[in-house]
Structure 1
Amino acid sequence: MDVRRAGTRYPGGDASAGISSRHAFSFGPHYDPGNLRFGPLIACNEERLAPGAGFDEHPHSHTEIVTWVVEGELTHRDSAGHATVIRPGDVQHLSAAAGVRHVERNDGAVPLTFVQMWLAPRTPGGTPSYEVIPGIADSTPYALPAAGAMLHVRRLAPGARTALPEAPHVYVHVVRGDVRLRGAHLHPGDAARLTGAGDPGIPEDPIHRETVAETAAELLVWEMA
């Protein structure tokens, strides 16, 4: 298990434009050859947009983009004609495939916070697609077959436990609250990268795959091949 603290994220954005970004992986001018990806996950960005702020139209290609709104509302428009408002509890998935352009803005009156995760597809190219799952239920997995990945949302009451998936790569991002995993205390913005779960050559006590909520908590958990 490799724990990455919120304070070690690479800073980005543009404060004068009302944009604050924190990157978990090598991103833009923050090039780190030792932190390019974890499994198919190549970005986990915490974004904060002031009212009226946003990202003007920009391109993406060969990337599976999943967005989770923490607070506020995210307005999305893309070159394929989709125009939506994403709210807390919704899962937004944009498959950029051979290429798509989109706009992301905070058109609301309150600050917007969201987590955006990029995954590399197993096969590049194809036709872009877009999907929103409104109000996804707790523990309901969202599959990304194109990247060989599955997203699990975990909302925990204080003292509650949840088992992590058994997979070659598991990425745990703490959205809110405090949790304990394998003796490590994780707080908002912290992440844990686990490898080898489910490998018969690496025996493990099941309790080591459990996350315990020390306060009310919300987690995004990626199960990846």
Structure 2
Amino acid sequence: MRAVSIRHRKLYEDVAHHLEEMIRDGEFAESGRLPSERELMRHFGVGRPSIREALFHLRKMGLVDIRSGERARVTRPTPQFVINALSSTARHMIAAPRGVHDFQDARVFFEAGLARHAALHATEEDIANFREALEVNRKSIGDLKLFERTDVAFHYVLALVPRNPIFTAIHAALAEWLLEQRQTTLAPGEDQKAYDAHVLIFEAVAAGDPDRSEAAMRAHLDYVVRRYTDVVEGRR
């Protein structure tokens, strides 16, 4: 048999694993306090460094909140917390060859789906919010910095329609990760083109036409991808 290296877990990893199970099983309620460090030391039979490392590990997982002088409090990981934890890795992926293109493709897939869903499920209030975001976007034409923000806000409305916090977290993350793309493509005159594309998306969603909504979103984002590629290649 070929030799296999077996990794032995460190004490703090065992402690963190057991505490995670206890939290998941409801032994420690959400927003409740964990036992003191001294009590945890007695319970697990380990020293203070192992307890503290275990608590820091759980904090990275979004399971506890640690404040100086207080016992750790049990928390629930939010979608935004999970996405934020991925940000560093995502930035490395974007920096890789074709990284931006991969994330652009992901954005097209994601937002085309949101547009289709909105056409089928948006409420009157959703449509009113979408119309307001479009109007704010129109008023920002000519001010590229402001247009950039209102552009993101316009697309964000579609992420709100499913009433799913994971979607809004993903939308916010993609907007942040593709910031360089947005700033590269936005130039005098391009804001008007983007707004015109937004009008087509809004009209299709407001009409309740999922096929036209998806097509309008794809056409808009495909143009953004082509323009980004042209600008970047033109710099070389």
TM-score bin (small chain): under 0.3
The TM-score, its normalising length taken from structure 2, stands at 0.23
TM-score (norm 1): 0.24
Determine which structure has the larger strand proportion and give its number: 1
Structure (1 or 2) with the larger CA radius of gyration: 2
